[in-house]
A and B are shown apart, each in its own frame.
Chain A
Amino acid sequence: LETINTELFNKVKNTFVEALKVEPAQVTPELQFGDLPQWDSMGHMELLMMLEEDFGVAVNAETIAQLVSIPLICAYIQEGGNA
């Protein structure tokens, strides 16, 4: 969490909990695509669409393939790479 804003992480975590139907404790700062059974292909798409709603993240072929970990998602939002 040194480089990830704690407040942002907590917001992203809430989106994860809602999109993937997981417990908050399962959403760790280093979490990557595939680490949880719920974060599979369908879970990934659910998650991205919810991130789009919550943070304005653009959902397209590039972001679908890029945003595959919490650090990458947080960095993307932090850098203003949203739609």
Chain B
Amino acid sequence: MPEPVLEIVPETVIPAHLIGQVQSKLAYVDEGIAGAQISAAGDQILIRLREGLLEDRAGELEEKVQRVVNEMAKGSFQPKVEVLEDHLDRPVPYSADPMDELLARGEVVEEETGVFTLGPLLSRLIDYFESRFLELAAHFDAQPYRFPTLMSARFLSRVDYFRAFPHSLTFATHLREDLDVINQFADQTVYGDDGLNTPAESFSRIQAMLSPAVCYHLYFSLADRPLPGGQLVATGVGNCFRYESTNLSSLERLWNFTMREVIFVGAKDFVLENREKARDFMRPIFEEIGLAYRVESANDPFFVGEFRKQAAFQNAFQLKYEIRASLPFKADTLAVGSYNYHQDFFGRHLNISLPGGSPIHTGCVAFGLERMAYAFLAQFGLDQKHWPRAVREALA
């Protein structure tokens, strides 16, 4: 039986530059939505519904979809697209989706939606890319840090994370300290179609989240005091968690992924100059890897209510540039990293100051390790004979 589909004509036509971003947010509108497709003209939305969704909920669903579209698209600002580097025409030998072969070989195994175990080939490839990113860290004499997987909810609240990205949060909890609750859990818990059958009241209050980003840990560790020496370059790798609902897909969009970051903290010029130097340093490395990519202005995936203003602000002040690698099999690109500048946002919200008393500025260069490996395999395939020499020799 075909999936039921709801066709909606949006009250506000969705401009081309927003189609992807609105589409991804529609996943969060209702648990009854299995997927959404917006027409190229932005004037039609097809919502695929999960089986069993009552027909009388169609009106309610449409109202919520219209609300999302209006909040994101009505009066939206046309972004200024700035391309800093364009190497998308770099020739690459492969044009199929590597995922099927990776699954067939057992190189990737999906443990849960958006949660993958990676096998030896991918692990070695990721180690190699990390070694190249560590060259960047060494170039800046970045101090090594080890960050936890859990992140303080109290600190995330201080930096307004809940307002900006509520949809992608992953909460850490545990059973309440209560003998009866723990015994009940031990005796009665089963995993069913709706997940664990544990009553919500058995769980503790939320103190921690699974980290959605790496560099935040550094800023939290520096909070409420002057920055010794007035500047710092640090590096760390960590697990990140961003729940992406029905948008979770292959190694492109994982719930749990890893990022290597090089982080700059100090005065405005120090951060901005180093962000640019980092891009200059990475250019020949990407060339050696043979990656077809482009560096262009971008915005973070703010949630609906914050999206229009925050995205416009980020774009206007050139705060974020993404490294977008080509995915030849779908004639599209995938963000494998980014060059970011946060102005004095963290300095002000976390009370971190320069020796003169003004708030510190921050920036970071972040690389998504699984995405980097996936994009590389999408461009060069799994047969190492076709890989660029530098990569082939490193993995020999």
Contact = CB atoms under 8 A, between A and B. Distances in A.
Contacts of A64: 77, 312-313, 316-317
B257 to A, nearest CB: 26
Contact of B348 (A40, A45, A62): A40
Contact of A42 (B78, B310, B317): B310
Interface string B280-315: 000000000000000000000000001001101101
Contacts of A46: 309
B344 A41 contact: no
A3 interface: no
A80 interface: no
B164 to A, nearest CB: 9
Interface string A33-66: 0100100111011100000000000011110110
B348 A61 contact: no
A41 B348 contact: no
A40 B316 CA distance: 14
B345 interface: yes
A46 B344 CA distance: 19
Interface string B58-89: 00000000000000000001111000000000
A45 B313 contact: yes
Contacts of B309: 41-42, 45-46
B312 A45 contact: yes
B381 to A, nearest CB: 40
Contacts of B306: 42
Interface residues of A, number: 14
A59 B313 CA distance: 11
A44 B77 contact: no
Nearest to A34: B344
Q: Quick one: which of B78, B306, B317, B348 has the most chain A CB within 10 A?
A: B317
A41 B345 contact: yes
Nearest to B309: A45
Contact of A61 (B77, B343, B344): B77
A17 B318 CA distance: 28
A60 B78 contact: yes
A61 B315 contact: yes
B313 A44 contact: yes
B312 A61 contact: yes
Interface string B337-361: 0000001110010000000000000
Nearest to B297: A61
A62 B315 CA distance: 10
Nearest to A61: B80
Nearest to A59: B77
Contacts of B78: 60-61
A48 B306 CA distance: 15
Nearest to B308: A45
A15 B315 CA distance: 24
Contact of B79 (A34, A44, A61): A61
Contacts of B77: 59-61, 64
A61 B316 contact: yes
Contacts of B313: 41-42, 44-45, 64
Contacts of A45: 309-310, 312-313
Interface centre among B309, B343, B348 (most CB of A within 10 A): B309
12 contacts: A40-B348, A41-B313, A42-B309, A42-B313, A45-B312, A59-B77, A60-B77, A61-B77, A61-B80, A62-B316, A64-B313, A65-B318
Given A61-B312, A61-B315, 17 more contacts: A34-B343, A34-B344, A40-B348, A41-B310, A41-B313, A41-B343, A42-B309, A42-B310, A42-B313, A45-B309, A45-B313, A46-B309, A61-B80, A62-B316, A64-B312, A65-B317, A65-B318
Interface of A: 34, 37, 40-42, 44-46, 59-62, 64-65
